[in-house]
Amino acid sequence: MRAILRQPSLWGTALGLFSTNYVFYFVLTWLPYYVVRERGFSTGEMATLTGSAYLVCALSSIVAGWAIDRCVVAGRATIAYKSVMVVAHLGTVGCMLCIAFASQPWALAGIFAYQVITGAASAGVFAIPQILAGPAAAARWVGVQNCCGNFAGVIAPALTGLLVEETHRFHLHGMTVLDQDVPGPRIVISRSVKGKGVSFMENKMEWHYLPLNEAQYGQAVQEMDR
């Protein structure tokens, strides 16, 4: 076991799994709440959307596993696994940007595209460590990797809840999700008050997505002009 723990590649795969799982657990635990609160979906629409998205992930993993095995048989295992993992990490960044900031159609496309690339990357998550460790150490290697990687399941939901409670929005946490896949500082964090200056809107999360009627619009304009 000590010899395994001294392998830099073990900690590389563990960090990679943590990075992948951070986004995965964020989406798994918060996607239903997000599409209802931030995108205005009904509960029924949310159930259909998220169920369909997870089905796409499952189908993608089957198709990708078959395609990668074909590449392995053809002698292109390294290229197959590495290219899928690179596309998955870079694609995740683009998908999270779409989900957080784009218009409704692009956000939905981002949700489904993320599930496609997550399913495609799942084969490499467990196959790569077995290749690196070899048959005599694969179980211990994967055990350590999963132990480290699944701490993301503790951190991502809790951190998301904390940030949403403090800021009443998901955009800030969208940036922390992106930070798992792109190294280095790249954001400016500011604390703002939703609906500041309008009495019936201030600090009310539902006004992030609810439309104003004519009377409310008039009242809001009057209060902001004071």
Query: Which of 57-61, 175-179, 222-226 is predicted with the least confidence, judged by mean pLDDT?
Result: 175-179
Locate CATH 1.20.1250.20 in the chain: 2-181
Q: Indicate whether 192 pLDDT > 70.
A: no
- Encode pLDDT of 32-54 as tens digits: 888 887 778 888 888 898 899 99
Per-residue H/E/C for 134-203 = CCCCHHHHHHHHHHHHCCHHHHHHHHHHHHHHHHCCCHHHHHHHHHHHCCCCCCCCCCCCCCCCCCCCCC
Give the pair of three-digit tokens for residue 134.
Answer: 């070899």
Whole-number Å distance between alpha carbons of 212 and 197:
15
Query: Which of 43-57, 154-168, 169-183, 203-217 is predicted with the least confidence, judged by mean pLDDT?
Result: 169-183
- Encode pLDDT of 70-103 as tens digits: 888 888 877 888 888 888 888 888 888 888 888 8
Q: Indicate whether 187 pLDDT > 60.
A: no
Of the candidate CATH numbers 2.130.10.30, 1.20.1250.20, 2.40.50.140, 3.40.50.620, the domain formed by 2-181 belongs to: 1.20.1250.20
**Residue range 146-175: mean pLDDT, rounded:** 75
Predicted pLDDT at 52? 92
Query: Which of 35-49, 167-181, 209-223 is predicted with the least confidence, judged by mean pLDDT?
Result: 167-181
Q: Indicate whether 17 pLDDT > 90.
A: no
**Residue range 210-214: mean pLDDT, rounded:** 79
Cα 148 to Cα 16, 19, 135, distances in angstroms: 10, 10, 21
| Count of Cβ atoms closer than 10 Å to residue 195 Cβ | 17
| Cβ proximity of 138 and 122 under 8 Å | no
The helices-and-strands tally (H runs, E runs) of the chain is: 9, 0
pTM beyond 0.95: the answer is: no
pLDDT category at 55 given cuts 50, 70, 90 is very high
| Cβ proximity of 41 and 51 under 8 Å | no
Predicted pLDDT at 209? 60
